[in-house]
């Protein structure tokens, strides 16, 4: 697993010199093990993942595509075309997973941390109320 928490396959290329395009495809898979302490099995959360990102879970395998187009005034350079198509493909991968992990962070912040903060605040109020209650009882 890389520092980006994404497994990536080696790029595969489709070269269509007559059409002036080079296509790069890379398969990816996120790693949900790093989120083992979070309970993200909530059906509502999973439905949001499906609707927003088209995935069932964080470790789904996805394929991304990048395309380099040869302009008719350029000299054909297959190596450069492969590098450009791979760069475009990786940019899509990083964008997707960045958006996914930002979404995950927001879900945790909104749901879990806000709930935790509310529980903590409520307990603080209970402590204060009981302190006052004991004070009244003890005269």
Identify the residue with better confidence: 4 or 61.
Answer: 61
| 40: containing domain | 6-138
pLDDT at 2 over 60: no
Query: 27-45 pLDDT, tens per residue?
Result: 999 877 766 656 667 788 8
Q: pLDDT tens across 5-23, in order?
A: 889 999 999 999 999 999 9
pLDDT on residue 40: 65
Distance CA 24, CA 65 (A): 6
For 48-60, write each residue's pLDDT tens digit.
Answer: 889 999 998 888 9
Q: Which residues pair with 98 in a beta bridge?
A: none
pLDDT for 80 equals 93
Asked whether the beta carbons of 64 and 25 are under 8 A apart, the reply is: yes
pLDDT tens-place string over residues 80-139: 999 999 999 999 999 999 999 888 888 777 766 776 777 788 888 888 889 898 888 887
Is residue 1 assigned to a domain?
no
Q: Provide the pLDDT for residue 122.
A: 84
Residue 103 lies in a domain: yes
- pLDDT (0 to 100) of residue 86: 95
- Looking at the domain assignment, is residue 17 inside a domain? yes
- Of 53, 31, 27, 33, which Cα lies nearest the Cα of 107? 53
H, E, C per residue of the chain: CCCCCEEECCCEEEEECCCCEEEEEEEEEECHHHHCCCCCCCHHHHHHHHHHHCCCCCCCEEEEEEEEECCCCCCCCHHHHHHHHHHHHHHHHHHHHHHHHHHHHHHHHHHHHHHHHHHHHHHHHHHHHHHHHHHHHHC
**pLDDT at residue 1 above 60?**
no
Q: Is the four-CA dihedral 40, 44, 47, 48 of positive or negative sign?
A: negative
Per the domain annotation, does 91 fall within a domain?
yes
- What is the number of domains present in the chain? 1
């Amino acid at each position: 697993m890389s520092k980006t928490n994404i497994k990536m396959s080696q790029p595969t290329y489709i070269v269509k010199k007559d059409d002036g395009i080079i296509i790069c495809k890379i398969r990816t898979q996120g790693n949900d093990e790093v989120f083992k302490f979070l309970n993200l099995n909530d059906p509502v959360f999973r439905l949001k993942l499906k609707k927003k990102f088209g995935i069932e879970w964080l470790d789904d395998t996805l394929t991304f595509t990048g395309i380099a187009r040869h302009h008719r005034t350029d000299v054909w350079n297959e190596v450069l075309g492969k590098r450009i198509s791979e760069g475009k493909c990786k940019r899509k991968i990083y964008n997707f997973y960045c958006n996914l992990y930002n979404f995950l962070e927001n879900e945790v912040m909104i749901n879990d941390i806000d709930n935790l903060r509310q529980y903590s605040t409520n307990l603080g109020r209970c402590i204060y109320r009981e302190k006052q209650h004991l004070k009244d009882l003890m005269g």
